C-alpha cells in the first residue's frame, strides 16, 4: 500500500500525465467548441488519426515540425468543413455524418500512408519536438519538471484551454456560439447567422482535433501507425460531458484521465507479475466512467445540441 501512495508523489508520474493529457486537451477543446455551437462531432477519432498521419508525413517529406502541425490543422479543418456541410448545411443526422467522417478519415489515413511509405519491418521515424525547459521555473521542485519542462505543443494546449475559456465566457463571439448552441432561432432574431457560426465552430474544433493527433506523431512518438489514436477520440467525447461543456473543467478532466493512465503504467511495472496486465489497462477507463456518471448528473446539455437548424423555421 505504501508503494501505491508513494507513486502518486513522484515527479515522473505527473510529468508523464501532462504529456499523456496533451492530445486529449486539444481534441476535447475541439469537441467542446463544436458542441457549444450545437453540433456533435463524432468524426473526432478519424480526424485525430488523419492529423497524426498527415502531420508526420509532412515532416517526413522535409517540412519542419511546426509546418507539420499547421498542415494537420488545415486538414482537420477540411474534414470539419465536410462534416458541417453534411450536418449543418444539409441538416443530416449528426451521428451518421460524424461516424462517416471517422470511417473515411481513418481509411484515407492508412491509404495515403501506404502510398507514401511502402510496407517495412520498422516504420520510418522523424525527429520529434523536444522539451523546452523554461528558465528558472523548470528548476522548481516537483512543479518545475512537471509543468515547465514540456514540449511546446503541451504549452500551446494549456494556453488554448485558457484562451477558449476566456473567449467563450467573456467575448461577443463566445456569446454568439453559446446562444447558437442553446437556441439558434434566438440567435437569428439578434441578427446572427447560426449556420455560419456552427460551420466556423466545427471547422475550428476539427482543426484542434487534428492538432491533438499531430502531437502523437510529432511529440509523443516519432512515427505513425494506423491504430495509434486507440480510442482517444471517444474518450474526449466523454470528457466534454464530464467537463459540463466548460474549457477549464475539460482541462482538468483530460489531466485526470491521463493521471489514471500514467498511474496504471507504473502499477504494471511494479505489480505486473502478480496481477494480469489487462486489469491495469482497464483502470483509467473504469475510473473515468465512474467520474463521468457522477458528474453527468449535474451536466447542463446545450439545448440545441444535435438539433438541425433551418433558417426561418419556428424554434
pLDDT, mean over the chain? 88
pLDDT in tens, 281-291: 777 777 777 77
Q: Which of 5-14, 275-284, 305-314 shows the highest mean pLDDT?
A: 305-314
Using CA atoms of 153, 158, 161, 167 in order, give the dihedral in degrees to the nearest 10. Answer: -90
- Calculate what percentage of the chain has a pLDDT beyond 70: 89
Tally of residues, the chain: 315
pLDDT in tens, 118-160: 776 677 889 999 999 888 888 787 788 888 889 999 999 999 9
Cα separation, 163 vs 151, in Å, equals 19
Cα separation, 114 vs 123, in Å, equals 11
* 130-57-223 Cα angle (round to 5): 55
Q: What is the DSSP letter of 97?
A: H
Cβ–Cβ under 8 Å, residues 206 and 87: no
Cα separation, 122 vs 200, in Å, equals 40
Residue 217's Cβ-side half-sphere holds a number of Cα atoms within 13 Å equal to: 33
Using CA atoms of 249, 254, 257, 260 in order, give the dihedral in degrees to the nearest 10. Answer: -110
Cα separation, 89 vs 239, in Å, equals 27
pTM of this prediction?
0.92
Q: Which three cell numbers stand for residue 276?
A: 494480469
Closest CA to 251 of 152, 149, 157: 157
Cβ–Cβ under 8 Å, residues 16 and 259: no
Q: Which three cell numbers stand for residue 8?
A: 502518486
- pLDDT (0 to 100) of residue 203: 98
Neighbours of 257 (CB within 10 A): 27
Cβ–Cβ under 8 Å, residues 207 and 74: yes
68 Cβ partners below 8 Å, 6+ apart?
55, 56, 58, 59, 214, 218
- 73-77, 122-126, 198-202, 266-270: least confidently modelled range: 266-270
The residue behind cell 523548470 is: 138
How confident is the model over 4-14, as a mean pLDDT? 71
E-assigned strand segments in 162-264:
none
Amino acid at each position: 500500500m505504501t508503494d501505491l501512495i508513494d507513486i502518486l508523489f513522484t515527479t515522473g508520474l505527473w510529468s508523464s500525465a501532462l504529456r499523456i493529457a496533451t492530445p486529449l486537451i486539444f481534441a476535447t477543446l475541439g469537441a467542446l467548441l463544436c458542441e457549444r455551437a450545437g453540433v456533435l462531432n463524432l468524426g473526432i477519432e478519424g480526424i485525430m488519426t488523419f492529423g497524426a498521419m498527415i502531420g508526420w508525413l509532412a515532416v517526413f517529406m522535409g517540412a519542419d515540425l511546426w509546418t507539420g502541425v499547421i498542415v494537420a490543422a488545415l486538414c482537420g479543418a477540411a474534414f470539419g468543413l465536410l462534416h458541417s456541410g453534411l450536418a449543418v448545411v444539409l441538416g443530416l443526422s449528426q451521428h451518421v455524418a460524424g461516424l462517416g467522417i471517422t470511417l473515411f478519415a481513418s481509411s484515407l489515413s492508412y491509404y495515403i500512408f501506404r502510398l507514401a511509405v511502402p510496407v517495412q519491418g520498422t516504420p520510418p521515424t522523424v525527429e520529434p519536438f523536444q522539451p523546452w525547459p523554461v528558465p528558472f521555473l523548470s528548476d522548481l521542485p516537483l512543479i518545475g519538471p512537471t509543468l515547465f519542462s514540456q514540449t511546446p505543443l503541451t504549452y500551446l494546449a494549456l494556453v488554448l484551454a485558457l484562451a477558449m475559456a476566456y473567449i467563450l465566457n467573456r467575448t461577443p463571439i463566445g456569446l454568439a456560439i453559446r446562444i447558437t448552441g442553446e437556441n439558434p432561432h434566438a440567435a437569428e432574431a439578434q441578427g446572427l447567422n447560426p449556420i455560419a457560426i456552427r460551420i466556423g465552430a466545427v471547422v475550428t474544433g476539427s482543426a484542434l482535433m487534428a492538432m491533438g493527433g499531430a502531437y502523437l506523431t510529432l511529440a509523443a512518438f516519432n512515427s505513425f501507425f494506423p491504430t495509434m489514436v486507440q480510442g482517444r477520440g471517444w474518450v474526449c467525447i466523454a470528457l466534454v460531458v464530464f467537463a459540463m461543456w466548460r474549457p477549464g473543467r475539460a482541462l482538468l478532466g483530460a489531466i485526470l484521465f491521463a493521471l489514471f493512465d500514467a498511474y496504471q503504467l507504473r502499477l504494471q511495472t511494479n505489480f505486473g507479475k502478480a496481477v494480469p496486465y489487462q486489469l491495469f489497462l482497464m483502470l483509467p477507463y473504469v475510473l473515468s466512467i465512474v467520474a463521468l456518471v457522477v458528474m453527468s448528473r449535474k451536466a447542463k446539455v446545450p439545448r440545441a445540441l444535435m438539433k438541425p437548424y433551418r433558417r426561418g423555421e419556428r424554434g
